[in-house]
Every structure is written in C-alpha cells, then in structure tokens.
C-alpha cells in the first residue's frame, strides 16, 4: 500500500510539473507571438513627407484626366437637366422624365437631346485625350530616340562623348548641334596635344596624357589656331558658382555648356575630362562622393590618385573623404570613392537621361523603361535607388491624402495607404543601407572652399610635384631622338 501511494504521489507530482511546464510554454508562446506582432507593427511617421526629396530628385506623378461636362441646350430655369456627364444625365432623365421636360417639349425629344449630348461629350473626351497623348508623345520623342540609340551601344566599349551628346540633346529637344559639340570637344583635345608637344611630353604615356589634360583645369594655356594662324591664351576651366545645382536652368549641368562657356560644376567638369581623355586614348575613372564627382587616375607606379576638377588640383584621399558625409556603409558598398567601371559609367549616362526626363516630365512608362535599363546594367545604381524612394514617397502621400489623411496611428486601418507607406519606408531603407546621406548645399560649398587649405598642405604639394616630375620623365619620341 505504501509503495502504491508513493507511486500515486509521484505520478501526481509529475503530472503537476507537466501542467506547470505547459502553462509556462503557453505563456512563452503568447509572449513570443504578441511580441513579434508588436515588433512587426510599423511606426508611421508623417514627418518623412516634410523632408526634401532625397538627392534633390523631385518626382511628379501623372495627373488623372479631369472630365469636363458638356453644356446642353435643353436646360431652362425651371427644368434644368443635370450637367454631369452624359450617362448620368440620361439616368436622371429616365428615372424622372417629367422633372426635366420643359413645357411644350416631349419626353422623347429630351431623351434624344440627352443622347446627343452624351455622344458629344464622349467625342470631346476622346479628342481631348487623343490630343494630349499626341502632344505628350511629340514632347518625349527626343527621349525615346535617345534611349533607343543608347541601348544600341555596348556598355563595355561605348563612346562616352557620344552618350553624353545623346543625353543632353534629348533634353534640348534635338536642338544641340552634333557638329558643334564634337568640334568644341576636338578643340580641347587639340589644346592638350599642343601642351604635350610644347612640354615634350609623351603622348604614349598615360600619366603624361592625364597631366596634360589637367593643365586645362589648373592655369591658362597658349593655343595656336592653325586656321587664323593666331596664338590665343585660353583660360582654364572654372567652377561656376551661379546655379551650380541646375535649379534655375537644368542645362547648366551639361558638358555642352562647359565646352561652350568654359565654366561648369562637379557634374560637367569630370565628364569633359573623361571625354577629352577618350579622344586621346588616356585612361582615367570617374569617382563619386556625396553630391560630387571627381577624377581618379594612376601614376607610373600604379598608385591611384585623385584630381579635383572644380579647381584643377590633385588632392589627398583624406580630403576627398573628409566631407563628413561618407560613412562606413558607403565605403563597404563602394557607393563612394570607388572607380566606376565602364559599365557603371554607361549606367550613369542612362541615369543622367532619367534625371533630365524627370526634370521635364512626370514619372511614366518611359521613365520606368529607362529605370529598368539602368538596373539591368548596374543593379546597385544610386540614382535609381533615390528615384525609387522619392517615387514611393509621392505615391504614399497621394494614397494617404486619398484616405482622408488619417492619424498616423490609424493608418493601418487603410490597407492601400498603409501598404504604400510600407513600400516607401522599405525604399528609403534600401537607400540608407548603401550608406547614402544627403549633403546640404551649404555644407557642400564649405567643403569645396576647404580645398584652398588642402592645396597648401605639404603632402598635397608633394603629390602635385610627384606627378609633374613623373610625367616629364616620359619624354616624347621626338625629344628622345633629338637627344
């Protein structure tokens, strides 16, 4: 009996422990699921909509077509046929014909008039839509043609000067002279050839070629015009402080503007450097920094150096990285300070095409086509990430307004608006994940001004002198023959 009672007691205690454990497990699972549910909730922050567009890229959504009512002739002071669209008018008349029939006019006459009004309204709507579609297609045709020509280029071997021309000519509605563009570029390439000859530098050495190109940015140079047989002093390319962001005139960002006026900014100045290098067979690379781009090239020892085209100086890597807006994520993801490959440079030309398009038009099917073309070449393209984030923001704001601007805490009750908000948040997170940070214009200007201090640093002066001496060690074949 005692043994049995002990066994019974043990079983009872074991059962109690199991029951307690199950209770604990139940509490644990409830905590896990409720916690995960809480963690999955998105904290809605409408403050995101008050910030400037990322990268300054403004996205406009297509405007819904507004139907204008057709005024009919069967209205009177006492019997006004509704002036909604024709279908609504017909429904109103058929529902209560006597209310809309003026004295002395039959119901059938009024019905026929309503039908004629409906037909007229439909015709006007279709004509209006057709005319708007034709006008839009005519306006964007230069971009369709430019995209078609760009997509025929090989991303590995494309001509940068040809691609830049296509991008800028599209924005200028096919009014940019190809002959004038190429002529201005060749004039600068000829100027470099004269520098090579005057300083007895080798046209076969890559460092010598880059050094000679850099003279166009550093100081005035003499140029002999064979046509006029006159020698001119050509001022260096200079940084244009006036509208350097292209806010007043987007074309101020163009290489064609720099070639025509001699002044540009950190978008056009490096592009023209690379276009001249392409004409001469020199190798250099474009590199990016926040709100900025610059040139990288190699010395004769294979060391990568940085050239700042906005003031014509070789600068240290520490200065380039010292803007304060380059973080570890950006360096790990090679968002900044890395040399762009030929494919990435090609994708950047397509990015410029997209940005120019969005400056003139809303985000439509053609914008989507350009975006997709960029991603096929460069899936991590920062411009596309910024465009996507701003596009999702515009869509989210539109959907939230359509939902009646609910309180942030109530937004999950509106599935369509909440989904748009989540997609916007995810797009912004993708931008943050690559280390992108917006650099305020005043901070950017202060950073550029700091180059005057950078130029006086002994280490920077030694870099400049090192390149000059190495370039001049490579004498031209003519000079070597003379010696």
d(Cα 172, Cα 253) in Å, to the nearest integer? 12
Reference 284, options 252, 306, 265; nearest CA is 306
Q: Based on the domain organization, do 317 and 406 belong to the same domain?
A: yes
> Does residue 341 contact residue 157 with C-beta atoms inside 8 Å?
no
- Say which residue, 45 or 259, is predicted with more confidence: 259
Residue ending a domain, among 71, 104, 139, is 139
Query: Quick check: is 8 in a domain?
Result: no
| pLDDT tens digits, 87-102 | 555 566 556 665 655 6
Query: Quick check: is 28 in a domain?
Result: no
pLDDT at 106: 66
Q: Based on the domain organization, do 124 and 227 belong to the same domain?
A: no
Least confident of 187-201, 250-264, 374-388, 456-470: 456-470
d(Cα 93, Cα 134) in Å, to the nearest integer? 36
Beta bridge partners of 350: none
Structural domain harbouring 113: 86-139
d(Cα 132, Cα 352) in Å, to the nearest integer? 26
d(Cα 478, Cα 469) in Å, to the nearest integer? 19
Distances (CA, A) of 70 to 63, 123, 130, 331: 21, 11, 18, 61
pTM to 2 decimals? 0.80
Over residues 221-249, the mean pLDDT reads: 91
C-alpha angle 141/155/145, rounded to 5°?
A: 10
Tell whether the model's pLDDT for residue 26 goes beyond 80.
Answer: no
Query: Quick check: is 77 in a domain?
Result: no
Q: Based on the domain organization, do 111 and 222 belong to the same domain?
A: no
Q: Based on the domain organization, do 122 and 239 belong to the same domain?
A: no
H or E element that contains 225? strand 221-225
- What residues contact 444, with CB distance under 8 A and at least 6 apart? 290, 291, 292, 323
Least confident of 104-113, 204-213, 348-357, 374-383: 104-113
Distances (CA, A) of 181 to 69, 172, 247: 50, 13, 23
| pLDDT tens digits, 455-466 | 788 778 888 888
Tell whether the model's pLDDT for residue 161 goes beyond 90.
Answer: yes
Q: Based on the domain organization, do 236 and 306 belong to the same domain?
A: yes
Query: Quick check: is 1 in a domain?
Result: no
Q: Based on the domain organization, do 406 and 268 belong to the same domain?
A: yes
- Structurally, the chain folds into a number of domains equal to 2
d(Cα 15, Cα 109) in Å, to the nearest integer? 90
> Does residue 193 contact residue 184 with C-beta atoms inside 8 Å?
no
Strongest mean pLDDT among 24-33, 49-58, 368-377: 368-377
Q: Based on the domain organization, do 418 and 456 belong to the same domain?
A: yes
> Does residue 73 contact residue 113 with C-beta atoms inside 8 Å?
yes
Q: Based on the domain organization, do 225 and 310 belong to the same domain?
A: yes
Residue ending a domain, among 115, 139, 163, is 139
Q: What share of the chain is helix, strand, coil (3-state, %, to 5)?
A: 65, 10, 30
Q: Please give the backbone phi and psi of residue 346, each rounded to the nearest 5 degrees, phi first.
A: -60, -45
Neighbours of 261 (CB within 10 A): 12
Q: Based on the domain organization, do 174 and 127 belong to the same domain?
A: no
Query: Quick check: is 59 in a domain?
Result: no
Query: Quick check: is 97 in a domain?
Result: yes
Q: Based on the domain organization, do 328 and 453 belong to the same domain?
A: yes
Q: Based on the domain organization, do 261 and 318 belong to the same domain?
A: yes
- What residues contact 417, with CB distance under 8 A and at least 6 apart? 396, 399, 400, 402, 403, 406, 411
Token pair, residue 260, equals 């025509």
Query: Quick check: is 48 in a domain?
Result: no
Burial 137-164 (b: 16+ CB within 10 A, else e): eeebebbeebbeebeebebeebebbbbb
Reference 430, options 481, 465, 393, 480; nearest CA is 393
Q: Give the position of tokens 């020892």.
A: 301
Query: Quick check: is 364 in a domain?
Result: yes
Tell me the three state secondary structure of residue 76: coil
pLDDT at 201: 94
Q: Based on the domain organization, do 253 and 111 belong to the same domain?
A: no
pLDDT at 126: 74
Whole-number average pLDDT of the chain: 83
């Amino acid at each position: 009996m005692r043994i049995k009672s002990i066994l019974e007691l043990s079983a009872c205690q074991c059962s109690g422990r199991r029951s307690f454990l199950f209770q604990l497990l139940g509490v644990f699972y409830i905590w896990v699921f409720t916690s995960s549910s809480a963690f999955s909730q998105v904290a809605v922050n409408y403050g995101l909509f008050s910030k400037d567009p990322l990268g300054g890229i403004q996205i406009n959504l297509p405007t819904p077509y507004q139907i204008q009512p057709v005024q009919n002739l069967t209205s009177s002071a006492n019997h006004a046929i509704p002036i909604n669209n024709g279908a609504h008018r017909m429904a109103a008349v058929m529902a209560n014909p006597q209310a809309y029939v003026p004295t002395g006019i039959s119901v059938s006459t009024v019905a026929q008039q309503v039908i004629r009004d409906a037909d007229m309204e439909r015709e006007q709507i279709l004509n209006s839509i057709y005319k708007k579609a034709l006008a839009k297609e005519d306006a964007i045709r230069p971009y369709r043609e430019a995209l078609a020509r760009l997509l025929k280029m090989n991303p590995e071997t494309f001509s940068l000067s040809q691609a830049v021309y296509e991008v800028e000519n599209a924005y200028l509605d096919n009014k940019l002279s190809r002959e004038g563009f190429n002529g201005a570029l060749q004039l600068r390439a000829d100027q470099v050839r004269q520098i090579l000859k005057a300083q007895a530098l080798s046209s076969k050495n890559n460092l010598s070629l880059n050094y000679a190109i850099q003279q166009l940015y550093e100081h005035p140079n003499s140029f002999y015009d064979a046509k006029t047989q006159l020698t001119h002093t050509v001022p260096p390319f200079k940084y244009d402080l006036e509208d350097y962001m292209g806010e007043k005139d987007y074309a101020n960002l163009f290489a064609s503007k720099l070639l025509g006026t001699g002044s540009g900014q950190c978008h056009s100045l490096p592009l023209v450097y690379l276009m001249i290098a392409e004409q001469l067979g020199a190798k250099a690379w474009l590199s990016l920094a926040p709100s900025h781009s610059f040139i990288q090239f190699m010395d004769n020892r294979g060391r990568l150096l940085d050239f700042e085209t906005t003031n014509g100086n070789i600068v240290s890597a520490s200065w380039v990285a010292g803007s304060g807006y380059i973080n570890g994520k950006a360096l790990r993801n090679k968002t900044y300070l890395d040399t762009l490959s030929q494919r990435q440079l090609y994708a950047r030309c397509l990015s410029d095409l997209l940005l120019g398009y969005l400056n003139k038009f809303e985000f439509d099917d053609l914008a989507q086509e350009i975006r997709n073309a960029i991603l096929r070449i460069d899936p991590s393209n920062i411009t596309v990430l910024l465009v996507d984030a701003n596009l999702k923001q515009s869509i989210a704001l539109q959907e939230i307004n359509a939902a009646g601007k609910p309180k942030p805490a109530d937004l999950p009750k509106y599935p369509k608006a909440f989904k748009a908000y989540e997609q916007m948040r995810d797009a912004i997170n993708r931008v943050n994940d690559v280390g992108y940070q917006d650099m305020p214009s005043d901070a950017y200007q202060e950073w550029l001004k700091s180059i005057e201090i950078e130029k006086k640093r002994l280490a920077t002066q030694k870099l400049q002198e090192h390149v000059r001496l190495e370039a001049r060690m490579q004498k031209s074949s003519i000079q070597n023959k003379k010696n």
